[in-house]
Amino acid sequence: MMRKYTKYIKRAKEMGARDAKTISARSIVVADWVRMKCQFGCDGYGQSLTCPPYSPAPEVTRRVISFYRKALLVHGDEYTDIHALIPALEREIFLDGYYKAFGMGAGPCQLCSKCGKFCRNPAKTRPSMEACGIDVYSTVRANGYPIKVISSAGCKGNYYGIVLIE
């Protein structure tokens, strides 16, 4: 069953990901407190239509994820353009017939210098996992990838995105 997603793992790596793996949608952890971290601690809060309060609330995210069995978890680093990779990978998966494919990236959208009333780039941007209430740390750790709090400006981070498949 997992073999049918192998081409998407390969494709994610070709697009600049360090790695990718197929995961059970049930391993995606959604927590109400995550969105509060966006509201109280992120300069991007309310600045982009892909961020809270405009992004799906955790209760909506829980319901949406309940309609999926599989997802692709994408692992990137400071050189990975997760913002571009996730929508492009989602599109490829969708065009292969997985009509429910939906991606979520990391961090605030960076496409426009000023976000307008309506998104000018809906095909190129997706909300971040954390904006939708996904506990990225718990989800990533549960699926065997490294992640830790960046404790200083010199630390290198791991970046993650996800594409819900079917």
Task: Report pLDDT digits (tens) over 78-105.
Answer: 899 999 999 999 999 999 999 999 999 9
Structural contact between residues 31 and 135, judged by C-beta atoms closer than 8 angstroms? yes
Structural contact between residues 159 and 140, judged by C-beta atoms closer than 8 angstroms? no
Quick one: which of 147, 139, 160 has its CA closest to 24? Answer: 139
pLDDT for res 56: 93
- d(CA 101, CA 90) in angstroms, rounded, equals 6
In this prediction, residue 1 has a pLDDT band, given cuts at 50, 70 and 90, of low
In this prediction, residue 150 has a pLDDT band, given cuts at 50, 70 and 90, of confident
What tens digit of pLDDT does each residue of 15-32 get? 999 999 999 999 999 999
pLDDT for res 149: 83
pLDDT for res 2: 67
Percentage of residues in the chain with pLDDT exceeding 70?
Answer: 94
pLDDT for res 152: 74
Sheet with 70-76: strands ordered across: 19-24, 70-76, 159-164, 102-104
